[in-house]
Structure 1
């Protein structure tokens, strides 16, 4: 088990989370039985949901998928969800708005948009963020594209440091 707090390790164990290729830990919790035909004629399940957790300095590296992704805050630290849009960076703060200034319980990333996420360390001793992600149409790893910093260079003017820092 990674060297994280007892609470983080307990959640990883209890929720049966596994390492995710983009960083952090996850487990799929739902895959719709209903199938739909997408605009590009792909047939998919209507939606999927996962638990997703970032611990310590973990981050979700820049990636994109072919479906909309809705993030839901569950527990721990807030999360900054960064996406590239219109030549810049849009950052949504995911968290408990009663405890985390400027946060919202949900954040949405449109299909096809490059995005990354990182835990916001508030210096309060909490070393994890547990969220849920719902993808519609359903997530498929074949629709997942992990970026490298060179591929993102120039897509968000003035943000090269962030683009490099959250790349694998």
Structure 2
């Protein structure tokens, strides 16, 4: 449950959060005016960096997806959030984001490298977490890829159950 007398709905209103296609709620808070060009797509300028607020609650999770850019996750409020990362070799890493001052087994920040598959969920599905995500080079939906669960399971059979559990949401892509 949201703490300090803030309900989930109050936080969504206060931060003007909108439903995110991968699950949860978000709002872009920063898009750098400075642009860069990727080698593989030199004709399309993109922001050097972007940032969002991101909130998971009510059992929602961020389904398996990947970006071309690195993404840095920052913990702000709520209870611990688990960021699950599958690297190209199939190694699973779980970053436990939380208030590292009150939960010594958590971290304030975690990085997901561009190209790695990742998903996120609240450690306690009945709780909530408010985090920030900074992407550099900046986030573009054109570089956002939702996993094909069957393909991901075939590629990483050791993590079959976790991949299925954090796969596409009901009615999602």
The alignment's TM-score, normalised by the length of structure 2, stands at 0.88
* Residue of 84, 87, 90 corresponding to 2:86: 84
- Does the 8 Å CA contact 1:49/1:133 hold for their aligned counterparts? yes
Question: Tell me, which stretches of 5 or more residues in structure 2 are unaligned?
Answer: 169-173
Which residue of structure 2 aligns with residue 35 of structure 1?
35
For the aligned residues, what is the CA RMSD?
Answer: 1.7
Match of 2:124 among 121, 124, 131: 121
Structure 1 position 148, deviation (Å): 2.6
- Which stretches in structure 1 are left out of the alignment for 5+ residues? none
Does residue 111 of structure 1 match 2:138?
Answer: no
SS of 2:7 mapped into structure 1: helix
Normalising by the residue count of structure 1, what TM-score does the alignment of the two structures yield? 0.90
Question: d(CA) in 2 for partners of 1:112 and 1:158?
Answer: 19
- The Cα of 1:99 is off from its aligned counterpart by 2.0
Assess if the C-alpha contact under 8 Å between 1:24 and 1:60 holds in 2: yes
| Superposition deviation, residue 155 in structure 1 | 2.9
Matches within 5 A, 1:18-33: 18-33=18-33
Would you say the 8 A contact 1:89–1:156 is kept in 2?
no
1:18-42: CA deviations, max 9, x gaps?
1000000000000000011223224
Q: How many residues end up aligned between the 2 structures?
A: 162
Asked if the contact 1:78/1:120 (under 8 Å) is kept, the reply is yes
The alpha-carbon deviation at position 147 of structure 1 amounts to 1.0
1:167 is paired with a residue whose SS is coil
